Structure 1
Amino acid sequence: MFKTLFVLLVLVHTLSFVLVNSHNESGEWSCESSNSATQIVAEFLPGIITLDGHPDDWQQIAGFEFSLLPALDPHEDDAYKGGKMNVKAVHDGKDVFFLLQVDGEYAYSKGNNNKCPSVALMFQIGENATYHNMGGCKESPDSCTNKTCRGHEVDIMHFSLGTAIPGRLYGGNLVDVGNGSDRFGHLVDVYSWSPHCRYLDGLGPSGANNTAQNDWKGAWWHSSLSVHSGFVDEDSPYASNGKKGTYYFEFSRPLRTMDRFQQDAQFKIGDTSKFSAAFWYPVDDKPWHGSGHYTVSCDWLPLDFIGGGGSGLAANSRRVVISSSWDAAVAFSLLFSVVAFCLSVFVIYRASMRKDVPYTEMNRL
């Protein structure tokens, strides 16, 4: 019992230390990103996604492209030089799936998260939760609680690659039941009221509730990796650093979770959620720091969950195609029936006009 409590306290302390030292923002905040007007769509497309980090099964799904700007100073001049981030989302009525795709030279240093790329997704939970300052609660770390910061909750998934094997699945596992941790790959489930008040699900300023779980699962891949049969830990670093290519980060989570403490965002088909994505990269082989990340927008982006009938552009397009095909089939069938009927009438008419056809009574056959 003492050992478990000690581990939990270390996790809380470590997470708090990283956050307090990673968001030393200076100056007045301003947001002028053109990306904020983009609306991401998660369509209903069941049975097409396999969660393995590979992008093959996403080829026919439209993505949304964003410039990656520094999170604390979002100016175009300082955008990530490697390229833009492409975000794709779908759902199958039970789970939602995301694919983040961003160009970047292969960089991997086993056991050192800060010298490997990293990504995060953030969602609004509380109605008053702002994108800026991870919820925007103004309480200090000593006074932020689920009561003083009520309404400022945001949900965060953070994936660091330092101990994650490409192509392998990470996130929720049986070993870490009771909190949002992931001791194997650091794909963690977190909630926040502000940068200085952020905790693993199941943990918080009042201690552990032991009823939370990590609802996220995910995998990663890089296009320079040549082995598709599967890597193991001993294969690290898996490819040569500096190779040009594209990173792929693939995630899934249930639309609704068993959360009872306002630590998970809950998604509903037909509704719109508020969303953002972030990217860390060791530029010039220098370790990244917590606030040195890039984001797809300096404000929330709307994320629409389209139902089976569909109301999005792609769904409408499919309905038009289906409707057009159906109309063509009906028209062809009707035309064929009319021609057959007219032909039958013509044959009967011609037969009735012939005088040389003898009439035979039935009882003489």
Structure 2
Amino acid sequence: MRDSGPSPLDPFARHTMPRISVVLLLPLLLLSLWPTARVSSHHESGQWSCEPELEVRIEAGFKPGIITLDGHGDDWKDIEGSEFSLLPALDPDADKEYGGGKMTVKALHDGTSVFFLLQVDGNYVYSKGESPKCPSVALMFQIGDSATYHNMGGCKEGTDTCTNKTCKGHEVDIMHFSIGTAIPGRLYGGNPIDNGEGNGGDRFGHLVDLYAWSPHCRYIDGTGPTGNDSSAQNNWDGAWWHSSFNVHSGFVEEDSPYASDGQKGTYYFEFSRPLRTMDRIQQDAQFAIGKSSKMSVAFWYPINGNPWHGSGHFSINCDWVPLDISFGGSSLTRTASQSSWDATTAFSLLLSVVSLCLSVFVVYRVFGPRSIPYKPMEIALG
């Protein structure tokens, strides 16, 4: 079903959504999920002003084998997260903060893939097939060295002139999940059908893999202003859940809307992606253990039942937030381990010195010169 509201492919948007070139043989359902017409421009009012929280960070520690990607937050309970206020992306004013509460972002890696959990309170709302009437989330990562958080990469070129050459260095990577067609607890994102056709789409749950140079120039991986590239893939997997659900054996589509609207609770959005992908056309962020990347998180919610629009989202910060892919656990754990190692090393060194002294003493006693007691000799003189 075609969404009746604004395009769900409008994460971090501020201006005009371009016409996206798609593979002609894609089924009608996928075409219904991809915007093919321009929508009204979203322009900022006045000069952009931002006072980012400079001390905030997201740390992805090494924790292999503990996460099941099912949308539930139970297996994250021992993982520390970072808490963020959600402010309007176009007007980061504290007086306009999201009223449901703060968002907690957790991350970890298992040496091969990176995992994210987004946790935010919100009354349950769901309208099957109508994404703007359901909550939605997006992750955005810096690819190009010149890519800014503001204006989604910040390339100054217009819709008709932005290309991978004119906007080189302004690339950002985006994962967007609109849950209007996604069953809670089920896995969405990369699938053999869409990946087989060489694009970042997801015809089943609309967990799509995008890239952009600016709000004007935003495309599904594998598509672009100069044509399509069949080597693209959707490398993301994800699921969602709400704490008001009382069925843990699994939902099917016929169970929609899965719970009654208005129930208090918490939304959980869980995602994973390989640290490194096979991308060769500068459309995926690449992560490395021991290195830091830049990211942001966006959240859409139908306030008072009103459908959200592309640029009407909240964000965790008005600038990039560092994402640290660490070697191990927290820095506190690493410091404690280092201190323990230092103490053990000092004790071992002391024990070695004492042993050496004892050895020298024993060798000296066994092989050293011995004093012969004086014994007078009686000599017969006659």
- Note the C-alpha offset of 1:22: 5.9
The structure with the greater share of residues assigned to helix is 1
Matched, 1:296 2:316: yes
Paired residue for 2:210, among 148, 165, 190?
190
Q: For 1:9-20, list aligned pairs within 5 A.
A: 14-15=34-35, 17=37
Residue among 28, 40, 46 paired with 2:64: 46
**Are 1:83 and 2:98 an aligned pair?**
no
Would you say 1:136 and 2:151 are equivalent positions? Answer: no
1:249 aligns with 2:272: no
Q: Which residue of 2 aligns with 1:33?
A: 52
Pick aligned residue for 2:250 from 222, 230, 233: 230
C-alpha displacement at 1:137, in angstroms?
Answer: 0.4
The structure-2 alpha-carbon separation of the partners of 1:49 and 1:125, relative to structure 1 and needing over 3 Å to count, comes to same
AA of the residue aligned to 2:145: E
Equivalent residue in structure 2 for 1:118, among 136, 151, 155: 136
Q: Which residue of 2 is the match for residue 166 of structure 1?
A: 184
**Shift of residue 313 of structure 1?**
2.0
How far apart are 1:17 and its partner, in Å?
4.1
Query: Could you say if the C-alpha distance between residues 317 and 137 of structure 1 is closer, same or farther in structure 2, counting changes exceeding 3 Å?
Result: same
> TM-score, length-normalised on structure 2?
0.80
Rounded to whole Å, the distance in 2 between the matches of 1:185 and 1:211 is 22
Q: Do the aligned partners of residues 274 and 101 (structure 1) sit closer, same or farther apart at CA in structure 2, a change above 3 Å counting?
A: same
Query: Does residue 145 in structure 1 map to residue 159 in structure 2?
Result: no
- Unmatched 5+ stretches in structure 1: 335-365
Q: 1:60-79 residue pairs with structure 2 within 5 A?
A: 60-79=78-97
> Do 2:51 and 2:318's aligned partners in 1 also have CA atoms closer than 8 Å?
yes
Q: Residues 139 and 306 (structure 1 numbering): CA distance in 2 closer, same or farther, change over 3 Å?
A: same
Paired with 1:16 and 1:138, the residues of 2 have a C-alpha distance of 23
What are the ranges of 5 or more consecutive residues in structure 2 without an aligned counterpart?
1-21, 352-382
1:333-344 residue pairs with structure 2 within 5 A? none
**2:236–2:273 CA contact under 8 A, matched in 1:** yes
Counterpart of 2:373?
none
Deviation at 1:14, TM superposition (A): 4.5
| Pairing of 1:176-215 with structure 2 (within 5 A) | 176-177=194-195, 178-215=198-235
Superposed CA deviations along residues 242-283 of structure 1, whole A, max 9, x for unmatched, are 000000000000000000000000000111000000000001
Q: 1:224·1:239 contact (CA, 8 Å) conserved in 2?
A: yes
Q: For 1:133-179, what per-residue CA distance to the aligned partner results, in whole angstroms no more than 9, with x for missing partners? A: 10000100000000000000000000001000000000000110110
Answer whether contact 1:66 1:85 (CA < 8 A) is retained: yes
Query: 1:262 corresponds to which letter in structure 2?
Result: Q
Alpha-carbon spacing, 1:4–1:153, altered in 2? closer, same or farther (3 Å): closer
State TM-score, norm by structure 1.
0.84
Aligned residues: 325
Shift of the alpha carbon at 1:33?
Answer: 3.3
Q: Give the letter aligned to residue 308 of structure 2.
A: W
Q: Distance in 2 between matches of 1:244 and 1:254?
A: 34
User: CA separation in 1, counterparts of 2:63 and 2:333?
Assistant: 10
- In the superposition, relative to structure 1, how do residues 313 and 54 fare at CA in structure 2: closer, same or farther (>3 Å)? same
Q: Which residue of 2 aligns with 1:96?
A: 114
What letter is aligned with 1:30?
Answer: S
> What percentage of aligned pairs have identical amino acids?
67
How far apart, CA to CA, are the structure 2 residues paired with 1:263 and 1:183? 20
What CA distance in whole angstroms lies between the structure 1 residues aligned with 2:37 and 2:310? 11
Alpha-carbon contact 1:16-1:197 (below 8 Å) kept:
no
Query: Are the aligned partners of 1:16 and 1:199 in contact in 2 as well (CA < 8 Å)?
Result: no
- Bigger mean CA deviation after superposition, 108-117 or 36-45: 36-45
Aligned with residue 106 of structure 1, among 124, 144, 163: 124
CA contact (8 A) 2:276 2:286 kept: yes
Letter matched to residue 201 of structure 1: D
Any runs of at least 4 consecutive aligned residues in structure 1 with deviations exceeding 6 A, and if so which?
Answer: none
SS in 2 for 1:292: coil
- CA distance 1:320–1:22, shift in 2 (3 Å): farther
Give the Å deviation of 1:54.
0.4
Q: Aligned letter for 2:90?
A: L
CA distance in 2, matches of 1:176, 1:288: 27
Task: Confirm whether residue 274 of structure 1 aligns to residue 294 of structure 2.
Answer: yes
Counterpart Cα distance in 2 of 1:16 and 1:86: 34
- Root-mean-square deviation (Å): 2.5
Structure showing greater Rg: 2
Contact 1:165 1:232 in 2 (8 A): yes
